Amino acid sequence: MCRLPPTSGCGGDTCTCGSSACRPEERGKGPGPPPSASDASRLVPIPTPPLRYAVFEELVAQDVDRARAVLAQARKVVPHAHFTFAKLWVHSALFELRQGRLDGCRKLLGEAIGRCPKNKLFKEYVQLELQLGDVARCRKLYGKYLEWAPANCAAWTAFAELEASLGEEERARGIYELAVAQPALDMPEALWKAYIDFEMGLQ
């Protein structure tokens, strides 16, 4: 809205500021009706307050059940079919891990990937399994990751580097071969460089 006072010519019938609020047919109107319930349902905030509340319940109030309920409610209100917050899923999973419930942690991450896959979710899940030393699960996760995002060169490279770090040179080479054969890649130069560096490192 134009901020010039009426004495400067704004707000009168001859106003030329261009603001829609200064047109004669618009003057005197209020801010308009509030958003409908259907519109408001789409205005989902970033889940930082629920996460902070859950941390408070867990660490300060030491009420684990209440913290779990807060996180569950936060996940419930997010329309995951349209968008999601990886941070919310990861926080919920790590919360269960801190309570000694590894199965619950894995179940949440698996549900997140199944309902609303995102790069961050796959990376966090793989990192968790790496820390736990479960290589078989890491391979399975990378398989699902690359099935979902076959053009992701960073994911192909990370998978190949994992195999190389385990001394599985043939597996690593096979992954690189599959990667460069993809019809579309987001960063082919980086992938080829990683492949060349891998082969040169074996010499």
**Averaged pLDDT for residues 169-191:** 97
Residue 141: the pLDDT is 97
**Number of Cβ atoms within 10 Å of the Cβ of 105:** 22
Which residue's structure tokens are 């309570």? 99
Return the biggest CA–CA distance within the chain.
83
The whole-angstrom separation of Cα 18 and Cα 31 is 18
H helix count then E strand count, the chain? 10, 0
Give the mean model confidence (pLDDT) for residues 160-187.
97
pLDDT of residue 171: 97
Which pLDDT tens digit goes with each residue over 64-112? 999 999 999 988 887 666 666 888 999 999 999 999 999 999 999 999 9
Cβ-proximal residues to 114 (8 Å cutoff; 6+ apart), any chain: none
Contact 47, 87 (CB under 8 A): yes
For residue 105, give the nearest of 68, 135, 138 by alpha carbon: 68
| pLDDT at residue 22 greater than cutoff 90 | no
Q: Once rounded to an integer, what is the mean pLDDT over residues 185-195?
A: 97
User: How many residues make up the chain in this entry?
Assistant: 203
Please tell me the least confidently modeled range out of 4-13, 54-63, 65-74. 4-13
User: Taken in order 4, 5, 9, 15, is the CA torsion positive or negative?
Assistant: positive
The pTM of the full predicted model, rounded to 2 decimals, is 0.71
Cα–Cα distance for residue pair 26/9, rounded to 1 Å: 16
pLDDT at 25 over 70: no
